[in-house]
Amino acid sequence: MDLRLKPSSLMVAYAREQVLVNDLKSIEVFIGCSCDARDARMREITWCCVYDLAFKPDGSELLVAADTKVLIYDSTDGTLLQSLKGHKDLVYAVAFSYNGEKFASGSADRSVIIWTEQHEGTLKYTHNEAIQCLAFSPVACFLLSCAINDFGKHLHLPLLFEIMPVNKENNSCNQGMWTQLEKSVSKQRTSSRCVCCAWSCDGQLYAIGMFDGTVSLRSATDSVEVKKIERPSGEPVWAIAFGAARSTFTFGELLALVDWGQTAAFYDLEGNQLVREDKKLGYDPTAIEFFNYGQFLVMCGSNHQVTLYSREGTALGTVAQMDTWVWTVKAKPNTNSIVVGCVDGTLACYQLMFSTVHGLHKERYAYRENMTEVVVQHLANQTSIRIYCNDLVRKVAVYYNRLAVQLTDRIEIYRLTVEHEDEQLEYRLVEKINHTFECSLLERRLQCYDHKGLKQREWLLESLIRYIKVIGGPPGREAILIGLRNGTVCRIFVDNPFITEILRLKSAVRCLDVSHLRRKLAIVDETGICSTFDIKTKQLLFQEPSCNSVAWNADQEFLLCYSGGGVLCVKADNFPPHQQRMQGFVVGFSGKRVFCLHMFAMIAVEVPLSNQLYQYLEQKMHKEAYDLASLGVTESDWGILGHDALRNLRLDIAQKAFHRIKDMRYLQLISEIKDMIRKDMKKELMLGCIKAYEGLYGEAAILFQKNGCEQEALEMFTDLRMFDQAQACFAFFSSGETQKALLRRRADWAQDSNEPLVAAEMFLASGDYDKAVNLMIKNDWMDMLISFTHRIDQNNVDVLRTVANYLAKKGEYTVASSLFQSINDIPALINMHVDAALWNDAFLIAARHQKYNGDVYLPYARWLAENDRFDEAQKAYHMAGHDVEALGVLEHLMGNAIRENRFIDASYYNWMLSMQYLERCCENPELNEKFLEFSNKADCYYAFDVIHKYLAEPFTNCPADALVNIARYLAFQKEVYKISRVSIFYTLMKQGQALGAYKLARYALEQLSYLKTPRRFEKLIEADAVMIRSKPFTDAEELLPMCYRCGTSNPLVGTNECIHCRTQFILSFVSFEVLPLVEFVVSDDINLEEAQRLINAEPPLSQMGNPLQEQMSHKIGDVMADRETLLKLEKQQVIIANWPPPFVTRFYYNMFHADDFEMACLRTGACPFCHVPPQKKTEFDIINDDNIK
């Protein structure tokens, strides 16, 4: 649409989807020679050029530089407020300070006057040439004034005084700077003529445009040139302006300039050109001004037009068409108004109104921004993308994943390539239609084009189109609803040339929409009445007055919203609508979001659907309620829906609702009710379960009782700890078993609630004695337990046993013993005494009940072992029949004694072990070797103890001959663990030398040479080896052992048997000398009892001498005694060694009387070998006689 405006009249130009321009007032300036503008109409009119304009920062006043005056107008209505006459020549420039307190004017008379806000002159200074332009700093009271060949920067003061110019030569270009201290203006020369000037938005830089095509960028602090911009054309830079930085633009603050090479260029503050190619204008520009906070740019010039550009110089449209050159243009602060001044004196003010260009499809919203950009938003995900078109955007349309943008001479079609919830939108240009379309919605003709720009169809409607709604469909067969001015609603398909009339209203259609399944149609007519029709039957469903727009929900068939009168109404089905305050027009309804266009902004409003949900629930329309809730309701609303559906046994709806809010309790309940349905249970029972879950316990209990389910009611009350209510409920209609069960549950609850006394009493009342006893034991209520045992029946054996065990642990042995005896629990009674170490009582009980001996003696043996009474423990093990453990104790004691070098104890323990094996030999002959092994070890350890003490202790009471005999005995034995051969032969060598047994000593030294001797013996042995060389090779005769059978003296280096008769020597284990004993055997026909009787008989009086002497003279064979010989023997002369089977009893004839054994027993009080007193009983004493009594 062509924008041609007459500045002499009030008019409005309308350009659909582009720029709305409103000409507020056109003012012609008439300047008389000797009168003000108010009287100019009565005199001869002289036309003059409007050279410059300036607005007060608050926009209330407009300065006009015309002729020799400064005209001040009211910017609201164009009234001339005052005409200032301070200059003698034409006024070329005017400017307001940043705070509006001062303004300045510059004239061809070379002077600059600074005026106050009250329109009074306050300062005046001059330049060498005519003033060309003025500019105040936007942040401080600095004034930049430019003459033809110089410029100055002035800091103005509020005082009224005149500043005299500094001295300057004629025809020279100089510079000067006025400061507050010097009270002067400092001016600086320029190399070319100054044409225009401007300050940066932050006041740190200012720029001066020159006639030679250069622009000088200078610092505001010291006026030093920081950058010089040279235009390639060399034409005068006629106008410059700084544009403020905006967040929505790519570039920051920029410098725009135009020259008379008919080009425009853009630079940053460092002097770098932002756009490589200059913008071709096609006319000589005279002024440039940033508009709407730097969003747009307004230019004017020789083309008689005022043109609107984007910030980067893209032409957007013509604002005004004047009759002559437009010399200056200024934007009114904080408004969309501009004022233009022409060379013929025309002064016009225009207000620009930018219409909204947008499109909406479901949740995708596209709109124009900055006139050349398109922003596409996904209103649900809050994601967006900005598309830079670099041309005027006339119209936009969005449909699913497609976006169409109409530009000046083409239509661009974009396709959505990426859309994720966590990613930004991304559109890609896929088609371009290079054709100019003149579009209008107010015509009768509707045309359809494909993406190649080819017209496919055209429909001619019977009336003007008032509203179009694309309702979609299969690709290539989409449908469109059309509302006409005559009230007709039509439907067309893009693949069908025919128009289908749906229905006809009496007034024009303002807005319409079709439901989700295309079954219902909502229309708002010109009278503001919203009508809803059934498309198939044409039946009017309902009407609402005072509406301006309507929209069906895109996901729900029976939900729509409409707005009007500042109210938004949401209606579901035939229910009353729900209202809320909202300004704007409804353009879409998706999910629970209503999209409203208010002023020039699209907003998404989330509407609550709770009211509509409750309306459905009141009518038991659960399926519809669930569909509505799926659009988005609160968790509490989902819960209400689930509970209502559950109470009506709509389990499918209830399950879905509780799934939404993850209510696992009710999901479990639904699963249980489904199981009840499969089991064909009563509906009342199911309702009882639901009531219980909902907290209506009384109603649930009544339903349970009526259906004979007292146990369910009991479990419900006990789980809830509502025992008083349960007792009241079951007081009259429940059975005794139910009452007891209630008491048990209450006792359990009291126990869990840390009320053990109440719980114990409840358990006793309900007959749960075991739980009551456990509770009393846990809380250590001994008196209560003892009192309880007096009342309880003796048949409760387990309970009494538990009480008795507890009392035993507490030391109440008397009561515990009586309880054990009352229930005849002898093992528990014995265990009690054993655990308490009451052995006397335990022995008495074991004596009465012999089968429990093992239960007494075995713990007693272990107790003895724990108290280091191992000998007694070993005997106790033996008495308990645990021979293995007895042997283990002995072996353990033996091992410790050997490791600790207590060889006398080791000998004793080995002897004890041999006796144990001896007792078992009759049953197991294989143990004979064990007996002999340990018996031999006992002998060796007993003998070696003397050797060890001799070498380890500083003194010994053992005679030397005994040491030699002991060493000789050990030297001819097999090696035994921990018995040192070095110690044996060293003792033999040492004591042999002392007694004169030099041959024996040499034998010992020879044996030591074969052994590894300790270091402490090495020097001693070496010394003895040297000393022995001086001794003879014989042994003292009194040291030689004699055989008492044959009377032969045996060498000391011989074995433990006679070298002549091979009779085994029997040694005394006190002195280790050969005992005067000769072994004899009885005849085979004489048994042991007869032999002992014959020996014990009195021998004949005639018997003299040794009756065995004759057989002893024979050197070979055993000495045999028959009955006659046995009768001749005196019993004091015979020693009988009784051995159990498989060993035989052995008889010895005593040749001489020796008292070594008696002396040793008197000295130690017992046998030195087996530790047994001489007058010892035949059985082991393991308890005192008093204990047995």
Range of lowest pLDDT (182-191, 323-332, 724-733, 856-865): 724-733
Beta strand pairing call for 402-406 and 395-399? antiparallel
What number does CATH give the domain 735-824?
1.25.40.10
pLDDT surpasses 90 at 72: yes
Quick: pLDDT tens for 591-606.
Answer: 899 998 887 778 888 9
Q: What is the mean pLDDT of residues 289-310?
A: 92
pTM of the model: 0.55
Q: Which two tokens stand for residue 465?
A: 């189109």
User: Which residue has better confidence, 811 or 1015?
Assistant: 1015
pLDDT band at 798 (very low <50, low <70, confident <90, very high): low
Beta strand pairing call for 479-484 and 11-14? unpaired
- CATH class of this structure's domain 357-439: mainly beta
Q: Which two tokens stand for residue 1013?
A: 């001797």
Range of lowest pLDDT (335-344, 716-725, 928-937, 1097-1106): 716-725
Q: What is the mean pLDDT of residues 243-254?
A: 78
Distance of CA 8 to the CA centre of its chain: 74
**So what's the pLDDT on residue 712?**
65
User: Which residue has better confidence, 755 or 603?
Assistant: 603
User: Which residue has better confidence, 260 or 158?
Assistant: 260
Return all residues near 1083 (Cβ < 8 A) that are at least 6 apart.
1120, 1121, 1122, 1123
Specify whether the CB–CB gap between 352 and 337 falls below 8 A: yes
Q: What is the mean pLDDT of residues 492-519?
A: 92
User: Which residue has better confidence, 633 or 797?
Assistant: 633
Range of lowest pLDDT (373-387, 394-408, 746-760, 949-963): 746-760
Q: What is the mean pLDDT of residues 930-939?
A: 86
pLDDT surpasses 50 at 17: no
**So what's the pLDDT on residue 1101?**
66
pLDDT band at 768 (very low <50, low <70, confident <90, very high): low
The rounded mean pLDDT for the chain is 79
**So what's the pLDDT on residue 538?**
92
Specify whether the CB–CB gap between 336 and 313 falls below 8 A: no
Quick: pLDDT tens for 372-420.
Answer: 889 998 887 778 889 988 888 999 999 888 999 999 889 999 999 876 6
Top-confidence range, 248-257, 386-395, 1065-1074? 386-395
d(CA 703, CA 684) in angstroms, rounded, equals: 6
pLDDT surpasses 60 at 29: no
pLDDT band at 911 (very low <50, low <70, confident <90, very high): confident
User: Which residue has better confidence, 719 or 826?
Assistant: 826
Distant-in-sequence contacts of 793-799, Cβ < 8 A, 24+ apart:
794/822, 794/823, 796/769, 797/823, 797/825, 798/770, 799/769, 799/770, 799/773
pLDDT surpasses 60 at 848: yes
**So what's the pLDDT on residue 739?**
56
Q: Which two tokens stand for residue 706?
A: 């009526």
d(CA 404, CA 395) in angstroms, rounded, equals: 8
Quick: pLDDT tens for 1018-1031.
Answer: 888 888 888 888 88
Phi first, then psi: what are they for 1121, rounded to 5°? -120, 125
pLDDT surpasses 50 at 24: no
pLDDT surpasses 60 at 1162: yes
Phi first, then psi: what are they for 465, rounded to 5°? -80, 130
CATH 2.130.10.10 domain residues, the chain: 47-189
**So what's the pLDDT on residue 868?**
63
User: Which residue has better confidence, 1147 or 1106?
Assistant: 1147
User: Which residue has better confidence, 1111 or 138?
Assistant: 138
d(CA 1163, CA 175) in angstroms, rounded, equals: 141
pLDDT surpasses 80 at 556: yes
Q: What is the mean pLDDT of residues 18-37?
A: 30
Quick: pLDDT tens for 338-373.
Answer: 999 999 999 999 988 888 888 888 888 899 888 888
d(CA 914, CA 1169) in angstroms, rounded, equals: 13
Q: Helix (H, G, I), strand (E, B), or coil: what is residue 663?
A: coil
Residues 47-189: name the CATH superfamily: YVTN repeat-like/Quinoprotein amine dehydrogenase (2.130.10.10)
Range of lowest pLDDT (469-473, 845-849, 991-995, 1080-1084): 845-849
d(CA 1098, CA 1096) in angstroms, rounded, equals: 7
**So what's the pLDDT on residue 1024?**
84
pLDDT band at 307 (very low <50, low <70, confident <90, very high): very high
pLDDT surpasses 60 at 179: no
pLDDT band at 906 (very low <50, low <70, confident <90, very high): confident
pLDDT surpasses 50 at 162: no
Q: What percent of the chain has pLDDT over 90?
A: 32
Quick: pLDDT tens for 75-108.
Answer: 888 899 999 998 999 999 999 999 999 999 999 9
User: Which residue has better confidence, 1000 or 307?
Assistant: 307
**So what's the pLDDT on residue 167?**
31
**So what's the pLDDT on residue 1105?**
58
**So what's the pLDDT on residue 916?**
77
pLDDT surpasses 80 at 769: no
**So what's the pLDDT on residue 1185?**
32
Q: Which two tokens stand for residue 661?
A: 């809010």
**So what's the pLDDT on residue 241?**
95
Specify the amino acid at residue 453: G
Specify whether the CB–CB gap between 763 and 749 falls below 8 A: no
**So what's the pLDDT on residue 1164?**
65
pLDDT band at 282 (very low <50, low <70, confident <90, very high): very high
User: Which residue has better confidence, 1110 or 848?
Assistant: 848
User: Which residue has better confidence, 1032 or 1153?
Assistant: 1032
**So what's the pLDDT on residue 1155?**
60
**So what's the pLDDT on residue 787?**
64
Quick: pLDDT tens for 438-447.
Answer: 877 668 889 8
**So what's the pLDDT on residue 789?**
66
Distance of CA 626 to the CA centre of its chain: 34
Range of lowest pLDDT (200-214, 286-300, 1017-1031, 1117-1131): 1117-1131
Return all residues near 244 (Cβ < 8 A) that are at least 6 apart.
201, 253, 290, 293, 294
User: Which residue has better confidence, 462 or 363?
Assistant: 462
Distance from the first to the final alpha carbon of the chain: 138
Class of residue 498 by CB neighbours under 10 A (exposed 0-12, middle 13-18, buried 19+)? exposed
Helix (H), strand (E), coil (C) string for 390-447: CCCCCEEEEECCEEEEECCCCEEEEEEEECCCCCCCEEEEEEEECCCCCCCCCCCEEE
pLDDT surpasses 90 at 526: yes
pLDDT surpasses 70 at 795: no
d(CA 251, CA 270) in angstroms, rounded, equals: 13
pLDDT surpasses 80 at 572: yes
Quick: pLDDT tens for 674-697.
Answer: 998 898 888 878 887 888 778 777
Specify whether the CB–CB gap between 1088 and 1080 falls below 8 A: no
pLDDT band at 1055 (very low <50, low <70, confident <90, very high): confident
Other C-beta atoms closer than 10 Å to the C-beta of 1145 total: 14
Distance of CA 288 to the CA centre of its chain: 60
Q: What is the mean pLDDT of residues 964-971?
A: 87
d(CA 802, CA 816) in angstroms, rounded, equals: 10
